[in-house]
Amino acid sequence: MVDNKKLIREYVNKNGKLERNMYFAVLTSLKLKERGTAASMSNSAAYGAHLMNGEDKIIPEKYNELVALSKNIWKLRGQVIEEEPSNDLRCPLCNGRVHIFSDHVVCDNNISTSNRSCKFFFNRTHSGHYFTKEEIYLLLEKKQTEVIYGLMKKDNSTFFSAFELNAEGKVSFVRKATK
Protein backbone atom coordinates (compact mmCIF):
# COMPACT_ATOMS: atom_id res chain seq x y z
CA MET A 1 0.00 0.00 0.00
CA VAL A 2 1.18 3.51 -0.74
CA ASP A 3 2.14 5.75 2.20
CA ASN A 4 0.13 8.94 1.61
CA LYS A 5 2.02 10.86 4.29
CA LYS A 6 5.31 10.08 2.59
CA LEU A 7 3.94 11.20 -0.79
CA ILE A 8 2.73 14.49 0.71
CA ARG A 9 6.14 15.06 2.31
CA GLU A 10 7.88 14.37 -1.02
CA TYR A 11 5.54 16.80 -2.76
CA VAL A 12 6.14 19.49 -0.11
CA ASN A 13 9.93 18.99 -0.29
CA LYS A 14 9.81 19.65 -4.04
CA ASN A 15 7.16 22.38 -4.07
CA GLY A 16 7.42 24.29 -0.80
CA LYS A 17 5.59 24.72 2.48
CA LEU A 18 2.11 23.38 3.21
CA GLU A 19 0.07 24.70 6.13
CA ARG A 20 -0.94 22.15 8.77
CA ASN A 21 -4.71 22.30 8.14
CA MET A 22 -4.21 21.85 4.40
CA TYR A 23 -1.87 18.89 5.03
CA PHE A 24 -4.62 17.10 6.98
CA ALA A 25 -7.26 18.04 4.40
CA VAL A 26 -5.14 16.59 1.56
CA LEU A 27 -4.46 13.46 3.64
CA THR A 28 -8.21 13.06 4.23
CA SER A 29 -8.92 13.49 0.52
CA LEU A 30 -6.34 10.85 -0.45
CA LYS A 31 -7.67 8.36 2.10
CA LEU A 32 -11.20 8.81 0.81
CA LYS A 33 -10.08 8.42 -2.83
CA GLU A 34 -8.16 5.30 -1.83
CA ARG A 35 -11.39 3.81 -0.48
CA GLY A 36 -13.12 4.44 -3.80
CA THR A 37 -14.95 7.69 -2.99
CA ALA A 38 -15.41 9.92 -6.03
CA ALA A 39 -12.79 12.67 -6.31
CA SER A 40 -15.30 15.51 -5.98
CA MET A 41 -16.82 13.92 -2.87
CA SER A 42 -13.44 13.26 -1.26
CA ASN A 43 -12.27 16.82 -1.91
CA SER A 44 -15.51 18.23 -0.49
CA ALA A 45 -15.26 16.08 2.64
CA ALA A 46 -11.60 16.97 3.06
CA TYR A 47 -12.40 20.68 2.72
CA GLY A 48 -15.07 20.25 5.37
CA ALA A 49 -12.39 18.79 7.65
CA HIS A 50 -10.18 21.77 6.79
CA LEU A 51 -12.97 24.17 7.77
CA MET A 52 -13.47 22.37 11.07
CA ASN A 53 -9.83 22.98 11.92
CA GLY A 54 -10.08 26.74 12.30
CA GLU A 55 -11.67 28.28 9.21
CA ASP A 56 -15.16 29.65 9.67
CA LYS A 57 -16.16 30.29 6.06
CA ILE A 58 -15.65 28.75 2.65
CA ILE A 59 -12.80 30.32 0.71
CA PRO A 60 -12.88 29.27 -2.97
CA GLU A 61 -9.12 29.76 -3.36
CA LYS A 62 -8.42 27.35 -0.48
CA TYR A 63 -10.80 24.77 -1.92
CA ASN A 64 -9.15 25.07 -5.35
CA GLU A 65 -5.73 24.74 -3.71
CA LEU A 66 -6.89 21.54 -1.98
CA VAL A 67 -8.23 20.09 -5.24
CA ALA A 68 -4.98 20.88 -7.09
CA LEU A 69 -2.82 19.43 -4.30
CA SER A 70 -4.93 16.27 -4.11
CA LYS A 71 -4.73 15.77 -7.88
CA ASN A 72 -0.97 16.30 -8.01
CA ILE A 73 -0.26 13.98 -5.10
CA TRP A 74 -2.69 11.37 -6.46
CA LYS A 75 -0.68 11.43 -9.71
CA LEU A 76 2.48 10.72 -7.68
CA ARG A 77 0.82 7.53 -6.43
CA GLY A 78 0.63 6.25 -9.98
CA GLN A 79 4.35 6.75 -10.40
CA VAL A 80 5.19 4.47 -7.48
CA ILE A 81 5.89 1.05 -8.94
CA GLU A 82 5.23 -1.87 -6.64
CA GLU A 83 6.45 -4.48 -9.07
CA GLU A 84 8.78 -4.44 -12.01
CA PRO A 85 7.09 -5.30 -15.29
CA SER A 86 6.84 -9.04 -15.41
CA ASN A 87 7.67 -11.08 -18.48
CA ASP A 88 5.26 -13.80 -17.36
CA LEU A 89 2.25 -11.45 -16.97
CA ARG A 90 0.71 -10.82 -20.36
CA CYS A 91 -2.05 -8.47 -21.44
CA PRO A 92 -5.28 -10.34 -22.28
CA LEU A 93 -5.95 -7.94 -25.18
CA CYS A 94 -2.62 -7.56 -27.02
CA ASN A 95 -0.20 -9.96 -25.26
CA GLY A 96 2.03 -7.05 -24.18
CA ARG A 97 3.76 -6.96 -20.79
CA VAL A 98 1.65 -5.93 -17.82
CA HIS A 99 2.86 -3.45 -15.18
CA ILE A 100 1.54 -3.57 -11.62
CA PHE A 101 1.57 -0.11 -10.08
CA SER A 102 0.54 0.81 -6.56
CA ASP A 103 -2.92 1.97 -7.63
CA HIS A 104 -3.52 0.37 -11.04
CA VAL A 105 -2.57 -2.40 -13.47
CA VAL A 106 -1.80 -1.42 -17.05
CA CYS A 107 -0.48 -2.86 -20.31
CA ASP A 108 2.91 -1.74 -21.61
CA ASN A 109 1.17 -0.58 -24.79
CA ASN A 110 -1.14 1.73 -22.82
CA ILE A 111 1.60 3.56 -20.89
CA SER A 112 3.17 5.44 -23.77
CA THR A 113 1.34 8.73 -24.35
CA SER A 114 2.44 8.87 -27.99
CA ASN A 115 1.04 5.48 -29.00
CA ARG A 116 -1.67 3.95 -26.83
CA SER A 117 -2.43 0.95 -28.98
CA CYS A 118 -4.00 -1.05 -26.12
CA LYS A 119 -6.75 -0.06 -23.70
CA PHE A 120 -6.00 -2.58 -20.93
CA PHE A 121 -6.13 -0.84 -17.55
CA PHE A 122 -7.86 -1.40 -14.22
CA ASN A 123 -7.72 0.15 -10.75
CA ARG A 124 -6.37 -1.97 -7.90
CA THR A 125 -9.16 -0.81 -5.58
CA HIS A 126 -12.67 -2.01 -6.32
CA SER A 127 -15.60 -1.87 -3.87
CA GLY A 128 -13.23 -1.10 -1.02
CA HIS A 129 -10.97 -4.06 -1.83
CA TYR A 130 -7.31 -3.63 -2.81
CA PHE A 131 -6.22 -6.37 -5.26
CA THR A 132 -3.14 -8.24 -4.08
CA LYS A 133 -0.42 -9.36 -6.46
CA GLU A 134 -1.75 -12.94 -6.21
CA GLU A 135 -5.28 -11.82 -7.13
CA ILE A 136 -3.93 -9.90 -10.13
CA TYR A 137 -2.08 -13.02 -11.28
CA LEU A 138 -5.32 -15.03 -10.93
CA LEU A 139 -7.25 -12.45 -12.95
CA LEU A 140 -4.69 -12.40 -15.75
CA GLU A 141 -4.00 -16.14 -15.88
CA LYS A 142 -7.28 -17.78 -14.84
CA LYS A 143 -9.60 -14.83 -15.64
CA GLN A 144 -11.19 -15.05 -12.16
CA THR A 145 -10.28 -14.56 -8.49
CA GLU A 146 -11.38 -16.60 -5.51
CA VAL A 147 -14.41 -15.31 -3.61
CA ILE A 148 -13.53 -12.13 -1.71
CA TYR A 149 -15.39 -11.20 1.46
CA GLY A 150 -15.95 -7.75 2.93
CA LEU A 151 -16.60 -5.88 -0.31
CA MET A 152 -18.32 -2.56 0.35
CA LYS A 153 -21.52 -1.22 -1.18
CA LYS A 154 -22.22 2.51 -1.39
CA ASP A 155 -24.40 2.27 1.73
CA ASN A 156 -21.38 0.78 3.61
CA SER A 157 -22.96 -2.68 3.86
CA THR A 158 -20.72 -5.59 2.90
CA PHE A 159 -21.07 -8.46 0.46
CA PHE A 160 -18.92 -11.14 -1.14
CA SER A 161 -18.11 -11.97 -4.73
CA ALA A 162 -15.38 -13.19 -6.99
CA PHE A 163 -14.04 -10.91 -9.72
CA GLU A 164 -13.62 -11.86 -13.35
CA LEU A 165 -11.74 -10.42 -16.29
CA ASN A 166 -14.03 -10.28 -19.33
CA ALA A 167 -13.11 -10.41 -23.03
CA GLU A 168 -12.78 -6.60 -23.19
CA GLY A 169 -10.21 -6.67 -20.35
CA LYS A 170 -12.59 -5.14 -17.78
CA VAL A 171 -12.84 -6.33 -14.18
CA SER A 172 -16.36 -7.11 -12.98
CA PHE A 173 -18.20 -9.18 -10.38
CA VAL A 174 -18.93 -12.83 -11.07
CA ARG A 175 -22.70 -13.07 -11.34
CA LYS A 176 -23.14 -16.09 -9.09
CA ALA A 177 -20.28 -16.38 -6.65
CA THR A 178 -20.46 -19.35 -4.31
CA LYS A 179 -19.04 -19.61 -0.82
Residues in the chain, overall count: 179
pLDDT over 90, % of the chain: 9
The mean per-residue pLDDT over the stretch 37-58 comes to 64
Q: What's the pTM? A: 0.54
Residues 12 and 50 both lie in one domain: yes
Domain final residue, candidates 29, 46, 79: 79
Residues 100 and 163 both lie in one domain: yes
What is the Cα–Cα distance from 135 to 146, expressed in whole angstroms?
Answer: 8
Q: Is the pLDDT higher at 107 or at 57?
A: 107
Q: Given the DSSP bridges, would you call strands 163-165 and 125-126 parallel, antiparallel or unpaired? A: unpaired
Question: Is 178 within the bounds of a domain?
Answer: no
Confidence of residue 171 (pLDDT cuts 50, 70, 90): very high
Confidence of residue 40 (pLDDT cuts 50, 70, 90): low
Range of the domain at 97: 86-173
Count up the domains in the chain and report the number. 2
Residues 94 and 165 both lie in one domain: yes
Question: Is 112 within the bounds of a domain?
Answer: yes
Residues 106 and 150 both lie in one domain: yes
| Chain mean position to CA 95 | 24
116, 108 in Cβ contact below 8 A?
Answer: no
Residues 61 and 95 both lie in one domain: no
Confidence of residue 50 (pLDDT cuts 50, 70, 90): low
Domain final residue, candidates 35, 54, 79: 79
Domain final residue, candidates 26, 50, 79: 79
Is 56 a residue whose pLDDT tops 80? no
pLDDT over 70, % of the chain: 73
Residues 99 and 164 both lie in one domain: yes
Question: Is 8 within the bounds of a domain?
Answer: yes
Is 102 a residue whose pLDDT tops 70? yes
